[in-house]
Structure 1
Amino acid sequence: MTNNVMIDGAENAPLFIFAHGAGAGMDHAFMQQVAMGLVAKGIRVVRFNFPYMVQRAELGTKRPPDRAPKLLEAFEHIIAQYADKPVVIGGKSMGGRMASLLSEHPLVAGIACLGFPFHPPGKQEKYKGEHLASLAKPCLILQGERDTFGKREEFAQFAFSPSIRSSFLPDGDHGFKPRKRSGFTEQGNIDLAVDTLSQYIFELYGIAERSHESE
């Protein structure tokens, strides 16, 4: 680990580059739980802090997220540093949205978005998923059923390309946390997300390796 990058998992394992959301960095509990869950499944996880989060830590002051070009540049730098063949990239909320904007990158085999921020809560008119209608590479969206940034019932209104698949966490909010009365648990939803995500990552690496062998 450096101050701005955390690496967990075996060196020769399938790699997942995992970006944080707007409000909390790479060491947030959600990021830690998902990363450790993936590592336990046999996946290597690289987490990193975007530049504004690095400055928050250094200066001790709260800063808003950088503009998309700077976020994407930082993400591309991490890909260049840690990927020598196509990898799966993704992230929590804003981090997942940034990953989806890098679908054309030659070293991106697929994308995973954990809690995609389709719109700010209560502002469905400020839709941020237009590019998902034309996404060519595989993309998994893991969404809490009652996520205020895009609930399950709203998905019928969203335009998705055929390469996108969605999976929902029962009664989950933006961080996949369900209400107590639902009978589901936060840990159960995290475990379900890790199971679904790890299967997806292994599937994509299997496809990439088979295509490489047939060349």
Structure 2
Amino acid sequence: MEPKEIVPVGAGGDARVTWFGAEHPHHTLALGHGAGGGIEARDLQAIARALPAHGVTVALVEQPWRVAGKKVAPAPRTLDAAWRDLWPALTKRGLPVVAGGRSAGARVACRTAAGLGAAGVLALSFPLHPPGRPEKSRADELLGSGVPTLVVQGGSDPFGRPEEFPDGSYELVQVAHGDHGFAVPKRAGIGEEETLVTITDAVTKWMASLRE
């Protein structure tokens, strides 16, 4: 059982952090979940279990609305406020902290990274726009992160395919044929394990580059 920590975040209630500790860590990677799921997402779990062997302590963060058992995420400003409130719990180990998350969690990380002094941003399945609504772009959030940023995006993500992303000072790794949850169709001939290895290898390599 990985250690869990309850973190009060003001009027928003309590967040919950599940720690996956590295023996000799050089960074902490804090990952929030999306609006439609929690930290049980396959990519979050795969990263949390793979990165400690490479010197990265991983903190999977559950927003207060999930901890309280609610079904619908609150407004972005509420998510951002909770993330800011719990940040001291993520930095207390004295390590540089990379902020990240999947989908809505990636947006939170991008919006708050510079103000919190994050060492970088990991954006998993960044929702560039609502499905079928490319004119509703959220590119300004990604481009405005102000810190080194890695985007890991499914090749068939309806919230934004890799080729739709604008030029910018971030890195982008494509997960071939992946949808918003990085699932791939059987006809692609790529298994779930291979997909998760693509994700964890990309994150491991990028996290190592932050030490240079």
> Same fold by TM-score, threshold 0.5 exceeded?
yes
- Counterpart amino acid of residue 122 in structure 1: G
Q: How many aligned residue pairs are there?
A: 197
How far 1:106 sits from its partner (Å)? 4.3
Partner deviation per Cα, 1:119-166 (whole Å, 9 max, x = no partner)? 1111222212223334431110000001010012322xx2x432x111
Q: CA RMSD in A?
A: 1.8
Which residue identity does 2:84 align to in structure 1? Answer: E
Q: Secondary structure at the match of 1:17?
A: strand
Q: Which runs of 5+ in 1 are unaligned?
A: 57-61, 208-215
CA distance in 2, matches of 1:82, 1:12: 17
Please list the CA deviations of residues 1-38 of structure 1 after superposition, one character each: whole Å capped at 9, or x if unmatched. Answer: 13622001226412100111111112344422221122
120, 125, 128: which one aligns with 2:135 = 125
Residue 36 (structure 2) aligned to one of 10, 23, 29: 23
1: distance between equivalents of 2:99 and 2:48? 13
> Which of the residues 91, 94, 98 maps onto 2:104?
94
- Residue 161 of structure 1 pairs with residue 164 of structure 2: no
CA distance in 2, matches of 1:185, 1:161: 31
The aligned residue for residue 194 of structure 2 is 188
**Larger fraction in strand:** 2
| Partner secondary structure for residue 119 of structure 2 | strand
Aligned counterparts of 1:33 and 1:93: Cα–Cα separation in 2: 16
Amino acid at match of 2:184: P
* Equivalent residue letter for 1:187: E
| 3-state secondary structure, aligned to 1:168 | strand
Q: 1:162-191 deviations in whole A, cap 9, x for unaligned?
A: 2x1111001111111211111212221111
Residue equivalent to 1:203: 209
- Structure 1 residue ranges (4+ consecutive) displaced by more than 4 angstroms after TM superposition: none
**Per-residue displacement from partner, 1:80-139 (whole Å, max 9, x unpaired)?**
112135311100111011101113124301001010001111122221222333443111
When the two structures are superposed, what TM-score results if normalisation uses the length of structure 2? 0.85
Q: Is the 8 A contact 1:38 1:198 kept in 2?
A: yes
TM-score (norm 1): 0.84
Letter in 1 for 2:96: P
One-letter amino acid of the structure 2 residue matched with residue 113 of structure 1: A
* 1:74 pairs with 2:96: no
Query: What percentage of aligned pairs have identical amino acids?
Result: 31
